[in-house]
Amino acid sequence: MIEDKNPQRTSIAQLGEFGLIDHLTKHFEINQPSTLKGIGDDAAVLDFKDKKAVVSTDLLVEGVHFDLAYMPLKHLGYKAVVANVSDICAMNAKPTQITVSIAVSNRFPLEALEDLFAGITHAAKEYNVDVIGGDTTSSQKGLIISITALGEANAADIVYRSGAKENDLLVVTGDIGAAYMGLQVLEREKQVFQVNPNNQPDLDNYTYLIERQLKPEARKDIKDLLEKLEVKPTSMIDISDGLSSEVMHLCKQSNVGCTIYEEKLPLDPQLISVCEEFNIDSTTVAINGGEDYELLFTIAIEDFDKIKANPNLTVIGHMNKETEGKHLVTRANQKIELKARGWNALEE
């Protein structure tokens, strides 16, 4: 579906591994004071002084995590960085550095990797993180991307999944479910294209959903927002595998149960209309769809007044005793047991 507008194809074998690394990394800049040495030596050198270092890593595999039929390489590079930065934000920390490793088959010319790294470079600038190293190697199975993200935080500011208490409020940033429906739209158009390659998709009615899938953003703004509101979350996680799965993680790590209210789930109007078009229940999409990269966190009930008027934050429920279980209360006031039906990369 995505046309190759650059007919030039330079074999990466012509450059060799070190020549390729030099070529792809020449646009990376160092901006973080904690980066003493980035790319160019046997290892990077970082100095966090009195801060704590926060580290997360992600692996993206072609055919499992992304489909290049509709995922432009520039967007893929950007999204790969966002997915990792989001994990640092979920610790209430400031992202500072990333490493980027790729395994690539010989069907990818140099120009394709330039597009991928253009997206990585753009995201690094957008999120003010330094690219400080990585690796390149060959692959027999297409494209594999591994990114490790580092961040810094004061020890007192770090938020874990394990701090939620009974009666804490469950809060979500932004809206949820849109990235999943964006994927459904793209998958449908891919099927149409395979049947009739001359049929160009009309995606004007799906712009928000598709952007949430192809170019998501990490919530780097929430740490500062909560500090200004004088609220520290008791637990936090990012929504990458689906709301239900992420809530389960918080409950398990914090030894609590939860109650979520269907009527409180923040849904974009475009999501609701496209769910109707696809004949899919919007609540099912909201609680099980992944890749929104919003933040899900708990706060003490005493802090409700501080956040209740903020348009970025929605209270969707509360935590309760572990013995009370985990439930979704429907608009019809029915209590349904919450199950983790979010995305699982290990399923067949």
**What is the tens place of the pLDDT at every residue in 126-139?**
999 999 999 999 99
pLDDT one-digit tens code per residue, 137-152: 999 889 999 999 999 9
The arithmetic mean of pLDDT across residues 75-96, rounded, is 97
In this structure, what DSSP letter does residue 71 have? -
- Across the range 45-52, mean pLDDT stands at 93
Give binding residues as ranges. Answer: 42, 56-58, 65, 87, 134-135, 161, 238, 240-241, 291, 343
Residue 79: Cβ within 10 Å count? 26
Residues 6+ apart with CB under 8 A from 171: 233, 296, 297, 298, 299, 307, 313, 314, 315, 316
Can you tell me whether residue 28 is helix, strand or coil? coil
Report the range of poorest mean pLDDT among 39-43, 74-78, 128-132. 39-43
The pLDDT of residue 263 = 98
CA 178, CA 220: separation in Å to the nearest integer?
19
Q: Would you say the CATH fold of 169-337 matches that of 12-157?
A: no
pLDDT for 26 equals: 79
Three-state DSSP class for residue 40: coil
Q: What are phi and psi of 148, to 5 degrees?
A: -110, 130
pLDDT band per the 50, 70, 90 thresholds, residue 344 = low
Answer yes or no: is pLDDT of 267 > 70: yes
pLDDT tier for residue 2 given thresholds of 50, 70 and 90: very low
Annotated binding site for ATP: 134-135, 161, 240
Structure tokens that stand for 130 in this block? 């330094």
For residue 23, name the pLDDT band (cuts at 50, 70, 90).
confident
Q: Give the mean model confidence (pLDDT) for residues 245-254.
A: 96
pTM (two decimals): 0.91
Per DSSP, the residues of 201-237 read ---GGGHHHHHHHHS----TTHHHHHHHTT---SEEE
CA proximity to 162, closest of 72, 236, 87, 83? 236
Feature table: binding site for substrate: 65, 291, 343
Strand order in the sheet with 257-261: 235-239, 294-299, 169-173, 313-320, 257-261, 326-329, 335-337
Q: Tell me what pLDDT residue 6 has.
A: 53
* Cα–Cα distance list, 295 to 73, 82, 167, 188, 343 (Å): 26, 13, 19, 28, 17
Who has greater pLDDT, 343 or 98? 98
Superfamily of domain covering 12-157: PurM-like, N-terminal domain (3.30.1330.10)
Least confident of 13-17, 125-129, 212-216, 293-297: 13-17
How far is the CA of 186 from the CAs of 8, 116, 181, in angstroms?
Answer: 27, 20, 9
Q: What is the mean pLDDT of residues 85-113?
A: 96
Mean of per-residue pLDDT scores for the chain: 92
Annotated binding-site ranges for Mg(2+): 42, 56-58, 87, 135, 238, 241
The residue extents of the domains of the chain are 12-157, 169-337
Please report, for residues 57, 131, 138, the alpha-carbon distance to residue 40 in angstroms, rounded to integers and kept in the order given: 21, 11, 21
Q: Is the confidence at residue 233, as pLDDT, over 60?
A: yes
Please give the CATH number for the structural domain made up of 169-337. Answer: 3.90.650.10
